[in-house]
Amino acid sequence: MRKLFKKYPVLCISALCALISMIFVLPDAQYADYIDLQVICLLFSLMAVIQGFQSLGIFNRLAGVMLKKIRTLRGLYLILVYLPFFTSMLVTNDVALITFVPFALFMLKLSGGDKYKIQVIVLQTIAANIGSMFTPIGNPQNLYLYTNYHLEFGYFMSVTLIPVVLSGILLFFGQYLLPKQTIEVQTPQSEPFASCKMALYTLLFISCLLTVLHVLPYGIPTALVVIGLLFTDRKLLTKVDYALLLTFVCFFIFSGNLARLSWVESLLRPLLETQPILVSALTSQVISNVPAAILLSPFTDNAKGLLLGTNIGGLGTIIASLASVISFQFYSKEADAQVGRYMGYFTVLNFALFAILMLLSYII
């Protein structure tokens, strides 16, 4: 059990929450209505397709092309930070960090900027968490809120546009945490990949996007992904984060049961009616933003407030967004890791942007 909790802490906690809630609301026919199959199937499809793109080295190829003309450490910073900022909008924040944090560590060592990896990785993490805010497929809580509240694609992006643009501008000034140092970057050679697989993964990704845009029902891309990968690269199906899917199921059960308890509703609904952004942002600091979105959504119709609150709430503590834990794990495995210094930079920069965006959210 200790090993299981260490490997999947959020899943274990969500499962425990679901089991405890079952004591108060015994399993019945209504449990079937808790599970949002559209979210589960679409999240599964996207994760499988992104694994396909990663297996082809697409993201490293993109980085290699962009790095060819870099001449300064600050220029390298801009590439390493804006890569996860923009790619997270399409491939989720955790995938962007899994791809580009190790790449950043490698490139910093190659260019002599290794001692600035804390600043770069912390800002990469912020960039991925904020960039993923922009689209419904940028992170799991967005996908859930988008489908749960039946939001229009244009409306969704109109809500998230200003915070993302402002954050993108502020990230530019992060380069001044690094010296004005000339470097020479030697990018590794990319290996050729199968163009037929690239075409297949692109078509599968487009089918997922069409579902997000309410053009296709969610069953079509799910079936296409399963069949397509079974015939091309079935190993990719084993690399999907099934723990995350099970975590969603557990929190669906937990939040569904809580919604049926009158005292919980009488406590949360008034708070969410008056301060949806603040309540969801603060809840995210404690249980992370994905569970916060699932937990609070039954108690409010304010999709905009919950959307802004859970996304801004991904900043702050290191557990506010699970993607932040991914970056920390990569850094902590470095031989010269300074965990205390990393946490100091992380906390100061995250809460600074958290405060700015919370203030902005009340203005817009």
204 lies in a domain?
Answer: no
Q: How many domains does the chain have?
A: 1
- Domain coverage including residue 89: 57-192+241-363
Q: What is the DSSP string of 146-213?
A: HHHTT--HHHHHHHHHHHHHHHHHHHHGGGGGS---B----PPPPPP--HHHHHHHHHHHHHHHHHHT
Mean pLDDT by 10 residues, the chain (364 residues): 78 88 91 85 87 81 72 90 93 84 84 89 96 93 93 94 96 91 68 80 91 87 94 90 85 84 86 93 88 89 95 92 84 87 95 96 82
165 lies in a domain?
Answer: yes
d(CA 247, CA 230): 25
Predicted TM-score of the model (pTM): 0.80
In terms of C-beta density within 10 A (0-12 exposed, 13-18 middle, 19 or more buried), how is residue 248 classed? buried
d(CA 183, CA 67): 12
Asked if 310 and 282 count as a contact pair (C-beta separation under 8 A), the reply is no
80 lies in a domain?
Answer: yes
Evaluate the CA torsion angle 100, 84, 128, 141 in order and state its sign: negative
92 lies in a domain?
Answer: yes
pLDDT of residue 190: 60
d(CA 47, CA 91): 8
d(CA 313, CA 354): 7
124 lies in a domain?
Answer: yes
Structure tokens at 140: 């799991």
Structure tokens at 312: 């801004």
The CB density around residue 55, as the number of other CB atoms within 10 Å, is: 16
In terms of C-beta density within 10 A (0-12 exposed, 13-18 middle, 19 or more buried), how is residue 335 classed? exposed
11 lies in a domain?
Answer: no
Residue type at position 71:
R
10 lies in a domain?
Answer: no
Q: Which of 308, 272, 6 is nearest to 159 (CA)?
A: 308
d(CA 282, CA 296): 12
pLDDT of residue 186: 64
279 lies in a domain?
Answer: yes
